[in-house]
Amino acid sequence: MSKLRNKTRDVALVKQLIRGTEEMFPNGSQTIPVAGTTFTIASLTQAMQDFVDQRQAVEDAKASLKAKLQIEQGQAPAQLVIIRAFEGIVRNSHSGSIDTLAKFGLAPPKARAELTTEQKAVAAAKRMATRVARQTLGKNQKKTIKGSIDARLVVTPVTVVPEDPASS
């Protein structure tokens, strides 16, 4: 039992060992050598019961954790919406005061990095390349595009044949 391969099986085995020890060694003060140490039956039984109790405490903690996680997962999204909205209010109302933001634990907004001339040129070239690749046009360029149709309207005259009054 040096490796805890299956903890449930180990606990069941230890419980059975406790029952067997209580049945076979009714005298709790009797001593027995185990793993190079001498134990009384009562202390040995207590050590095994401690193992079972610890395992049960771990299982109870796992169940409690699982229940609390489910509660958190259910409530957190709505709570985070409120928190983020309040954070936005604080940031907007105190954006000029770094000290006030620090009291709320908020860092001041980063200043936007100014682009170099090279970076601006590269960005403009990328934008143009994207527009060409997507074939997107501005409103003035769209005005110059006119549809052309090579279709003709053909009207076929309808001839009306007068009805013969004698055939009715």
Residue 38 is assigned to a structural domain of this protein: yes
Asked which of 87-96, 118-127, 151-160 is least confident by mean pLDDT, the reply is: 151-160
pLDDT at 57: 93
Model pLDDT for residues 31-61, shown as the tens digit of each residue = 888 888 888 888 888 888 999 999 999 999 9
- Which residue range is the domain that position 32 belongs to? 7-74
Domain for residue 11, yes or no? yes
Distances (CA, A) of 9 to 15, 55, 91, 167: 10, 11, 56, 105
40: in domain: yes
| Identity of residue 4 | L
Q: Give me the number of domains the chain comprises.
A: 1
